[in-house]
Structure 1
Amino acid sequence: MGDSSDSSNEYTLKSPPTDCISAVKFQPNSSHLLLVSSWDTGVRLYDVNSNTLRMQYNHPAPVLDCCFHDAVHSYSGGLDNTLKMYDFNAAKEFVVGSHEAGIRCVDYCPEVNVVITGSWDSTVKLWDPRTPCGTGSFSQPDKVYAMAVSGDKLIVGTAKRKVLVWDLRNMGYVQQRRESNLKYQTRCIRAFPNKEAYVLSSIEGRVAVEYLDPSPEVQKKKYAFKCHRLKDDKLEKIYPVNAIAFHQEYNTFATGGSDGYVNIWDPFNKKRLCATLAIASSVVDEDETVGQRNPDQIFIRNLSTAETKPK
């Protein structure tokens, strides 16, 4: 999540995916290149400034997540159970390794220089990007649904609302075992840039702010709140919170829900800063005829400081 002095500049990217968008990731330290994975089996690299599709590669099955390793290499995984690395300069792809079931999460930790995958086979695997090759497999209590890197810490959310905190420099034991404060299935986890906390969302229109320090004094600061809910007459529609993204300077964050909206939150003053259209939208309307769906789109909007800075 970045910002700009011009908040009126909003547009959609050309040549979007043709099926549900599973992940959107900006290049590290840049808002110029955007990596997008999709259920149409494709991983696409967009030049946001020129609104062009730079390149695309594919898996044999839907892709559930992707990440940048550096400016010229990406990693991706999905329902073909394989982790792929793509070299943008050479326009070549490599199969790095595999899991026993679908790969739900792919991330990179620059502090330890390791690529991490989380799978529905209930394992997390580490991969050395220099070779590239696998360096270890670590059992989780259940299927991996969400994952986030915080410095040299790895936060893993699994089925049955379990949350584990690992030290990527010493994976010999689990540093912390927790249970989500939210009553329903974990959908997404993202870490604060200040490395002190993380945000966890669920399928039931709710978000929790959790702190990594286990001391009772710090744990008193954690809280949860409702969001992405729409009231229609006396009926309240509750939507999953599918995505979370942080502003790297302000530590404010955005949430994207199945209601098609993005909300931006000030976690320190516990209030919403603004609401806007989704930056990547794959929505099936409940009122639509079976087999029909809205087109998949990626919206680019330059956010102003007023929309992202804590007040």
Structure 2
Amino acid sequence: MAPATQYELSPPPGDAVSSIAFAPAPSTKLLVSSWDKKLYSYDASKPESSLLQTYEHKAPVLDVCFGDDENDAFTAGMDWVVNRINLESGEMTALSKHAAPVRCVAYSKSHGVLVSASWDCSLNLHNIRDPSSTPIRVPLPAKPHALAASSSKIVVAMTGRIINIYDLQAIQTLFSSGGSEIKPWQQRESSLRYLTRAVACMPTDAGYATSSIEGRVAVEWFEDTAESQARKYAFKCHRQAAPDGDGDIVYPVNALVFHPVHGTFASGGGDGTVALWDAEAKRRLKQYQRFPNSIAALDFSGDGKYLAIGVCPGFQTGQEDYTGAGQTSVFIRELGENEAKGKGAK
């Protein structure tokens, strides 16, 4: 079997990476949002001349996701606006505006629903397949920090260890009925004691994983039965032994993503490392060599053959004048055939 290869995309973003998103399979198009007010489009399969296009925004771009195909994308930004971008023409359309920066966007292809989460403590629900529909605002009990979509659920992680889970079918029904109010399918308290940094949903639609600023990851299942809830667990990761031997240096776990084929997941931390985990077997499969800076974002390609890794200085380093300029990179790892396969997989 040929060894896995790894290369850097060029040119990199001009400032820190905020989010990374691969297009739906079989495309190898990759979008990278940045604090330099730009969205970058790359062909991840081309180490040389990989940059396809850039899209200027009015303020730093905090998140990005694809729509139904490789030419449809949505961005969330510090200008409070949720944008839709035609990646072919470059046309940008404002879908809605919040009352504070928009932290996250997530799209459900199965339901045609875009969800945006803002620091104004609200979600905006957008019916993408009906351009005439008005976005529905959903108040949140706290400030959102992470958002993820499965085929049937939306998971919102907030300050105060609050996790709201919304049912996408109920959201779709809300649009068709002309309603304006929706309640969470479930509200949970996070298994992690500290602020949630990232959330990712399993490709099987069985559950999700969350990570915190305190070097931990939790794995939970949607099914609200005693048996299912007894399976949830949390573990320590992205830590290093202190030089003086007194305890550990603990790093935030900034990024989580599930492999679309094997169901294993990758985590990226402030320690500059990426690890692969088997959620079912509760074990680490692999840890890659340390990258030059903190891991800010991760995503697997739709076919699972590539892992994109956004690297830039982390805010935890404490410098007063933060900048990712000249210190930001996007790496692509072309995975070996069984590299992300769980230990118990056939």
* TM-score normalized by the length of structure 2: 0.84
> What is the root-mean-square deviation of aligned Cα atoms in Å?
1.9
- The runs of at least 4 aligned residues of structure 1 exceeding 4 Å deviation read 287-294
On the 8 A contact 1:96/1:133 being kept in 2, the answer is: no
**How many percent identity over aligned positions?**
36
The residue that corresponds to 1:58 in the other structure is 56
- The alpha-carbon distance between structure 1 residues 7 and 138, as it changes in their structure 2 partners (threshold 3 A), is farther
CA deviation profile, 1:222-245 (whole Å, cap 9, x unmatched) = 000000001133142111111111
CA deviation profile, 1:216-273 (whole Å, cap 9, x unmatched) = 0111100000000011331421111111111111100000111111100011111111
Distance in 2 between residues matched to 1:244 and 1:25, nearest whole Å: 12
Matched, 1:184 2:194: yes
Deviation at 1:89, TM superposition (A): 2.0
Deviation at 1:185, TM superposition (A): 0.2
The residue that corresponds to 2:310 in the other structure is 280
- The alpha-carbon distance between structure 1 residues 251 and 186, as it changes in their structure 2 partners (threshold 3 A), is same
Matched, 1:310 2:342: yes
- The alpha-carbon distance between structure 1 residues 94 and 291, as it changes in their structure 2 partners (threshold 3 A), is closer
Distance in 2 between residues matched to 1:283 and 1:155, nearest whole Å: 28
On the 8 A contact 2:96/2:135 being kept in 1, the answer is: no
- The alpha-carbon distance between structure 1 residues 292 and 155, as it changes in their structure 2 partners (threshold 3 A), is closer
The code of the aligned residue for 1:264 comes to: L
Unaligned segments of structure 2, at least 5 residues: 172-181, 296-308
Match of 1:266 among 263, 273, 278: 278
Matched, 1:123 2:122: yes
Matched, 1:213 2:245: no
Match of 2:183 among 153, 170, 173: 173
Distance in 2 between residues matched to 1:266 and 1:207, nearest whole Å: 12
More strand by share: 1
The residue that corresponds to 1:245 in the other structure is 257
- The alpha-carbon distance between structure 1 residues 307 and 31, as it changes in their structure 2 partners (threshold 3 A), is farther
The code of the aligned residue for 2:330 comes to: I
- The alpha-carbon distance between structure 1 residues 206 and 218, as it changes in their structure 2 partners (threshold 3 A), is same
* TM-score normalized by the length of structure 1: 0.93
Match of 1:11 among 7, 13, 34: 7
Map residues 216-227 of structure 1 onto 2, 5 A cutoff.
216-227=226-237
The residue that corresponds to 1:39 in the other structure is 35
Matched residue SS, 1:160 = helix
Matched, 1:82 2:94: no
Distance in 1 between residues matched to 2:149 and 2:27, nearest whole Å: 20
Question: Could you tell which deviates more after superposition, 99-108 or 49-58?
Answer: 49-58
Matched residue SS, 1:195 = coil
The residue that corresponds to 1:22 in the other structure is 18
Aligned residues: 307
Deviation at 1:290, TM superposition (A): 5.8
Distance in 1 between residues matched to 2:43 and 2:278, nearest whole Å: 29
On the 8 A contact 1:239/1:259 being kept in 2, the answer is: yes
CA deviation profile, 1:6-52 (whole Å, cap 9, x unmatched) = 44311100011111100011101236110110111111110112242
Deviation at 1:289, TM superposition (A): 9.2
The code of the aligned residue for 1:58 comes to: E
Matched, 1:149 2:149: yes
CA deviation profile, 1:134-156 (whole Å, cap 9, x unmatched) = 43111111111111111121111
Distance in 2 between residues matched to 1:306 and 1:261, nearest whole Å: 20
The code of the aligned residue for 2:265 comes to: F
Distance in 2 between residues matched to 1:243 and 1:133, nearest whole Å: 33
On the 8 A contact 1:31/1:48 being kept in 2, the answer is: no
Map residues 97-108 of structure 1 onto 2, 5 A cutoff.
97-108=96-107
The residue that corresponds to 1:137 in the other structure is 137
Distance in 1 between residues matched to 2:143 and 2:134, nearest whole Å: 20
Distance in 1 between residues matched to 2:329 and 2:269, nearest whole Å: 15
Matched, 1:229 2:239: yes
CA deviation profile, 1:169-190 (whole Å, cap 9, x unmatched) = 2242211110001000011110
- The alpha-carbon distance between structure 1 residues 114 and 289, as it changes in their structure 2 partners (threshold 3 A), is closer
CA deviation profile, 1:185-224 (whole Å, cap 9, x unmatched) = 0111100000111000000000000110111011110000
Matched residue SS, 1:260 = coil
- The alpha-carbon distance between structure 1 residues 6 and 143, as it changes in their structure 2 partners (threshold 3 A), is farther
